[in-house]
Amino acid sequence: MTGKVNPVIPEVVNKTYYLVSGYSVPVTMAARAAQFELANMLPVVADVLITSLKLAREATELFTDKCIAVVEANEANCRKHLEESTAYATLLTPRLGYDTVSEIVKESLKTAKTIRQLIVAKGLLTDKEFDTIVQKGV
């Protein structure tokens, strides 16, 4: 598919998690099988724990280097999605009241207009007041 990004690295992290989780079985069995606290199963436990830690470290480093470090947010697209969502309702409720904001949200969902558009059109807030509330959370 054109433009598709394959989630190979996150899939590797999932697979590593499953493998490391599965390693809890030999640790549990070895701990149960140790006779008289002689630590005869300690080599098994140590090997599994060291292997698990190495795998987890490698998967974490790979994920950090190949996924986290290279992520760049598209700020304009994020802002567009935020403006089109109903997330601002929580910030606006203390200022405008629950009932008013609830009606605005319902109207926004029906008309596909943003909460900002409706509030400014109804004269409840100016664009500047709206921005101040959503930027400062007051």
Give residue-wise pLDDT tens across range 88-100. Answer: 999 999 999 999 9
Give residue-wise pLDDT tens across range 94-119. Answer: 999 999 999 999 999 999 999 999 99
What whole-number distance in Å separates Cα of residue 71 and Cα of residue 90? 28
Of 28-37, 44-53, 128-137, give the lowest mean pLDDT range: 28-37
Domain 75-136 maps to which CATH number in 1.20.1250.20, 1.10.40.30, 3.30.1490.20, 3.10.20.340?
1.10.40.30
* Burial environment of residue 88 by CB neighbours within 10 A (0 to 12, 13 to 18, 19 or more): buried
pTM reported for the whole predicted model: 0.58
Domain range annotation of the chain = 8-68, 75-136
- Residues 103/89, Cβ–Cβ less than 8 Å: no
* Burial environment of residue 126 by CB neighbours within 10 A (0 to 12, 13 to 18, 19 or more): exposed
- Residues 104/62, Cβ–Cβ less than 8 Å: no
